[in-house]
Amino acid sequence: MNNKEWYCLLVTMSGGLGLGILLLGTESLKLDSHTTFNFYDTFYAIPSLYANIALVVLSFFIVYLGRMLYSNFKSTIVNLVFIAATVLMMTLIFGLTTLVNGTFRDNLDSLSSPELLDTGQWANNFHNLLTIVQGFLLGLLAISGIKTLRLLKTRYFY
């Protein structure tokens, strides 16, 4: 791995952490801090460390997707970092899907107010959107995996 890749890894990591500090504040770097967000009438509190990790993974995914498409799948290291970032991104989206399925639908079953039942339709649409995004990421993972294996000139999986 050449120096350019190390610099790009370092800049992407620090850019993701900088984005986390910019969006969540410097308090988000403490282990006991929490980030809260409001969804309709419910407040959710997650540890800020997890939000920072999600932003770093998102920055790695976006940067290395651009680098991989710019180099037209010709760099093995870029492809491998993108594959790792895609797997982590799919894990994050799976966690969001689980949150949508578990929390929102359990809360909706106990509601009897008709104006709040529209949230169920929104939760279903959001779940469908996350499922489509996971399928898209799986397709990107397959394409980049096949191109990387061809680049490495191995014949294990095709």
Q: Which of 37, 32, 36, 70 is nearest to 49 (CA)?
A: 32
- pLDDT exceeds 90 at position 61: yes
Position 99, amino acid: L
Counting the structural domains of the chain, the total is 1
Q: Is 112 a domain residue?
A: yes
Q: How confident is the model at residue 157, as a pLDDT?
A: 46
Q: Is 63 a domain residue?
A: yes
Position 74, amino acid: K
- pLDDT exceeds 50 at position 158: no
Output the pTM of the full model.
Answer: 0.78
Determine the Cα–Cα distance for residues 127 and 134; give it in Å rounded to an integer. Answer: 11
Q: Is 126 helix (H, G, I), strand (E, B) or coil?
A: helix
Q: Is 158 a domain residue?
A: no
The better pLDDT of the pair 108, 141 is held by 141
Q: How confident is the model at residue 120, as a pLDDT?
A: 58
- pLDDT exceeds 90 at position 40: no
- pLDDT exceeds 60 at position 108: no
- For the record, the structure tokens of 5 come out as 């890749």
Q: Is 57 a domain residue?
A: yes
Q: How confident is the model at residue 122, as a pLDDT?
A: 67
Determine how many CB atoms are found less than 10 A away from the CB of residue 74.
Answer: 11
* Domain of 119, in residue numbers: 3-152
pLDDT-derived band at 62, boundaries 50, 70, 90: very high
Mean pLDDT, residues 18-39 = 85
- pLDDT exceeds 80 at position 115: no
Q: Which of 150, 1, 9 is nearest to 74 (CA)?
A: 150
Q: What is the 3-state secondary structure (H, E, C) of 55-116?
A: HHHHHHHHHHHHHHHHCCCCCHHHHHHHHHHHHHHHHHHHHHHHHHHHHHHHHHHCCCCCCC
- pLDDT exceeds 80 at position 58: yes
Q: How confident is the model at residue 11, as a pLDDT?
A: 93
- For the record, the structure tokens of 152 come out as 């490495």
- Average pLDDT of every residue of the chain: 82
- pLDDT exceeds 50 at position 133: yes
Mean pLDDT, residues 10-26 = 90
Q: Is 157 a domain residue?
A: no
The DSSP symbol for 36 reads E
Angle formed by the axes of helices 3-24 and 48-70, nearest 10°: 140
